Amino acid sequence: MDYNLEIVVQDAKDALSTIDDLEELSRLRNNLLSKKSQLGTARSSLATLPLDQRREIGAKIELARKEIESALAERRQLIEVRTRKEKLAADEIDITEWLESSTPARGHQHIVQRTRDELEDVFVGMGFSVNEGPEVETDWYNFEALNIPPAHPARGMWDTFYLDLGEPETVLLRTHTSPTQIRVMESGELPIYAVMPGRCYRRDTPDSRHLPIFHQIEGLVVDIGISFANLAGTIEDFTTAYFGAGIHSRLRPSYFPFTEPSAEFEITCTICAGSGCRTCSHTGWIELGGCGMVHPAVFEAVGIDSKRWTGFAFGFGIDRCAQMRYQIPDMRVLMENDYRFMKQL
């Protein structure tokens, strides 16, 4: 027995350390552990040894074999890890290529519709229902029931599109969402806490702040004991809920035939937060809409006892709200459905 097993093991380890490939590794394994290998020869020569040495040497050979096996396994794992690493490294890509080439799979909801949803949600949170009415209305619903008799000078406030149905100027495209108030009140269910959003039409030449087709949201509360103070409270609650805690409201006298007292409501300028800028003409306030206590003549038109019930109404432009919130310089872009605009918001 002239093998030094320690050297055999050491040689095997040395040989292993140069292997980088699984095929070579398996060849080497064969060389190291086959019958013809030094270890194999040593094992087969055991039979020639005297019995007392056989056990001792045999145990040493087995130990050497285990050591080589474990070195092989270790090397195999090393190669496998390295190979996997290399393979993945070769797969490398600049993932910002994906970023730069990606487009959102999802489309966008129209900014006016979204604004309408948000406004509805604020009022729903305040216990209001959302009611809708037709866009084609009669003179009665759009004007007369709202205390605006035919040829009333106040009709000049609403340039109207008339339709070729019925007698001349009896059927029209509603100029505001207020006729829906009449319909809600006519339904006879009291009290009323409702907002009424929808599309309206005015025969105005479009400019950066007006469109002939636009959207309004109207609010109506009719209950026992409703006061002007409640109107002011509701407007203020809505303003801070929708525009943010720093934005407040104020009411100033105005005139609408269907409310008395009437007011216009202004909110803190959202551009300068009230410190004064060009948008608000350096007043710190911008006008948002009109409001007031429901006129007794309107209650009479729908058969509600104005001695018992009082109420308030308010209304403002949804498009204007969106314009203010998203700082859209020219409203006309809202109707163009231009991808370059829609994809921004």
Partner 1 sequence: MKVPLSWLKEFAPFTQGAETIADTLSDLGLVVESVKHIGNGLDQILVAKVLEIDAIPGADKIRRVIVDTGNGEEQIVCGASNFKVGDHVPLASVGTTLPGGMEISRRKMRGVVSNGMLCSGNELGLSDDHTGLMVLGEGITAGMPLTDAIGIKPDTIYDLSIEGNRPDALSLLGVARDLAAKTNTPLYDQWQDDVLKRNSTDLHRDGTALGVNIEVLSTDLCPRFTASVFNNVSIEDSPSWIARRLTLAGMRPINNIVDASNYVMLELGQPTHPYDLSRLARHTLRVRASMKGDSLVTLDGVNRVCGARSVGPGDDLRDCLICDGDDVPIGIAGIMGGESTEISGSTAEVLLEAAYFNPMSIARTSKRLGLRSEASLRFERGCDPNMITISIWRFAEILRQSAEYKGTIDVGDTLEEPGPIKVNLSRINNLLGTDLGIGTVSDTLSRIGFKCRGTDRLEVIPPTYRPDVRREADVAEEVARLIGYSTIKPARPRSPRVGMLSPYQSARRRLREIAAGMGADEAWCSSLVSESDHAALGLDMPAITVENPLSADESVLRLSLLPGLLKSAAHNIDRRVEGIRLFEVGIIFPYPTDRHVDRFSKQVLDEREMIAILFAFNDDSGENAMAALATITDSLGSRPLIDVWQESYSDWVLPAMSIGESVSGEAGEASGAMSERAAGANTGAGDGAVTGTGAGAGARPEVYSLHGLHPSRSGIVTIGRGRIPIGTVGEVDPLVLNHFGVTSTINDTRHRRVGWLQLDLKLLLESNHEMPTASPISKYPSTDIDLSFEVPDGVSSSKISSVLHQACIDTVESIRLIDAYRLDNRRSLTFRIRLSSLDHTLDDAEIASIRDKCIQQVHDKSGAVLRSI
Q: 55 vs 343, which CB is nearer to partner 1?
A: 343
Write each residue from 226 to 265 as x if it is in contact with partner 1 (CB under 8 A), else as -, in one continuous string: xxxxx-xxxxxx------------xxxxxx-x--xxxxx-
Cα 110-135-119 angle, rounded to 5 deg = 40
Binders of partner 1 among 37-96, rule CB under 8 A?
A: none
Which range in 28-36, 39-47, 54-62, 103-111 contacts partner 1 by CB under 8 A?
Answer: 103-111
Cα 229-234-235 angle, rounded to 5 deg = 100
Q: 235 vs 324, which CB is nearer to partner 1?
A: 235
CB of 218 to partner 1, least distance (A): 16
Binders of partner 1 among 151-170, rule CB under 8 A?
A: 151-157, 161-170
CB of 194 to partner 1, least distance (A): 9
Is the CA virtual torsion 77, 82, 86, 88 positive or negative?
A: positive
Bridge partner list, 221? 193, 312
Question: How far apart, in whole angstroms, are the C-alpha atoms of residue 142 and residue 172?
Answer: 8
Tokens 């040593």 sit on residue: 42
Tokens 């009411």 sit on residue: 251
Binders of partner 1 among 276-315, rule CB under 8 A?
A: 293, 295-297, 310
Residue 158 φ/ψ, nearest 5 degrees:
-130, 100
Q: 62 vs 336, which CB is nearer to partner 1?
A: 336
CB of 324 to partner 1, least distance (A): 18
Which range in 15-23, 74-82, 89-97, 131-139 contacts partner 1 by CB under 8 A?
Answer: 131-139
Residue 319, CB-side half-sphere exposure with 13 Å CA sphere: 20
Binders of partner 1 among 172-211, rule CB under 8 A?
A: 173, 191, 193, 199, 201, 203, 205
Q: 57 vs 192, which CB is nearer to partner 1?
A: 192
Count of residues in contact with partner 1, rule CB under 8 A: 95
19 Cβ contact partners less than 8 Å away, ≥ 6 residues apart: 25, 28, 75, 79
CB of 323 to partner 1, least distance (A): 14
Q: Distance between the two ends of the chain, CA-based, in angstroms? A: 87
Q: 61 vs 143, which CB is nearer to partner 1?
A: 143
CB of 129 to partner 1, least distance (A): 6
Q: Cα 152 to chain center, whole Å?
A: 45
Which range in 37-45, 46-54, 81-89, 112-120 contacts partner 1 by CB under 8 A?
Answer: 112-120
Peptide bond into 261 cis (omega under 30): yes
Question: How far apart, in whole angstroms, are the C-alpha atoms of residue 151 and residue 172?
Answer: 15
Q: 16 vs 112, which CB is nearer to partner 1?
A: 112
Bridge partner list, 286? 267
